């Protein structure tokens, strides 16, 4: 009943009131409820804009209940929080650790593999991001999130100044995902790459194609 009360308060965004209720269940006989409460304490802290405190709660859960169903969820929350704090190197390491700990075909493994690339890109390690996203594409060729990896690869090449390779990636993207919500932006990237190279004729052609298509 106390755990349900805490959940009700959490869902009403009354996080300061939910916290003491969750804490009271940590020492109870029901381990499953205790694990859930520890996880939720982290989310309460995060909602109260205390990310370091949140990560501390999740670290405590993983130390106390290693191998529990909540442990990978706590690690994912930690990784995402580090990413939001712009601690991209730490986030990358956490995502890699998560991908090692969960079954290879699980949704958590898929998400972690993709987010490794995101973290590297934001850390301006563009070559590393390309490798990570290509690894994701090889491991999860049927993923619905493949579009995100391929989209990221082309922009990483843009950041590296390799516009020719970026355009090749864009062409492959548009063939695979012509109806994607990102397709217009990919087409724009092609036009912009020609503009940056001062290739006015091809840039104008791509801009016109963009206008006609979208």
Using an 8 Å Cβ cutoff, are 27 and 9 in contact?
Answer: no
Q: Residues 6 or more apart from 18 whose CB is under 8 A from it?
A: 6, 7, 9, 10, 40, 44
Report the share of the chain in percent with pLDDT over 70. 100
CB 33 within 8 A of CB 14: no
* Alpha-carbon gap, residue 121 to 193, rounded angstroms: 19
Higher-confidence position of 158 and 80: 80
Query: Is residue 120 a contact partner of residue 98, using CB atoms and an 8 Å limit?
Result: no
Amino acid 81: pLDDT:
98
Residue pair 72/108 in contact by the 8 Å Cβ criterion? yes
Please answer whether residues 98 and 76 qualify as being in contact, where contact means their C-beta atoms are separated by less than 8 angstroms.
yes
Q: Nearest 5 degrees, angle CA 190-CA 192-CA 195?
A: 115
pLDDT per residue as tens digits for the range 114-162: 999 999 999 999 999 999 999 999 999 999 999 999 999 999 999 999 9
Assign residue 103 a region: left if phi > 0, alpha if psi is -120 to 50, beta otherwise? beta
Can you tell me the mean pLDDT for 158-170? 92
Q: Are 62 and 71 in contact (CB under 8 A)?
A: yes
Q: Kindly tell me if the per-residue pLDDT of 29 is higher than 80.
A: no
> Quick one: pLDDT at residue 200?
94
Residue 86, pLDDT score: 97
**Would the pLDDT of 45 be above 90?**
yes
Residue 192 · residue 208 · CB < 8 Å: no
Checking if the pLDDT of 179 tops 90, the result is no
Q: How confident is the model at residue 105 (pLDDT cuts 50, 70, 90)?
A: confident
């Amino acid at each position: 009943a106390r755990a349900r009360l805490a959940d009700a308060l959490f869902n009403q965004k009354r996080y300061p009131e939910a916290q003491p209720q969750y804490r009271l269940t940590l020492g109870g006989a029901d381990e499953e409820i205790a694990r859930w409460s520890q996880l939720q304490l982290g989310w309460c802290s995060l909602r109260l804009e205390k990310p370091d405190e949140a990560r501390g709660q999740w670290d405590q859960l993983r130390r106390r209940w290693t191998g529990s169903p909540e442990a990978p969820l706590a690690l994912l929350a930690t990784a995402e929080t580090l990413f939001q704090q712009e601690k991209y190197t730490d986030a990358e390491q956490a995502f890699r650790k998560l991908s090692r700990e969960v079954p290879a075909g699980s949704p958590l493994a898929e998400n972690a593999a993709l987010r490794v690339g995101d973290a590297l890109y934001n850390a301006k390690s563009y070559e590393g991001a390309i490798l990570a996203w290509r690894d994701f594409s090889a491991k999860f060729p049927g993923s619905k999130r493949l579009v995100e990896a391929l989209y990221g690869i082309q922009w990483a090449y843009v950041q590296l100044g390799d516009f020719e390779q970026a355009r090749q990636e864009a062409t492959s993207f548009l063939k695979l995902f012509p109806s994607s919500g990102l397709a217009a932006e990919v087409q724009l990237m092609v036009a912009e790459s020609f503009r940056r190279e001062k290739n006015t004729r091809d840039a104008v052609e791509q801009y016109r194609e963009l206008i006609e298509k979208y």
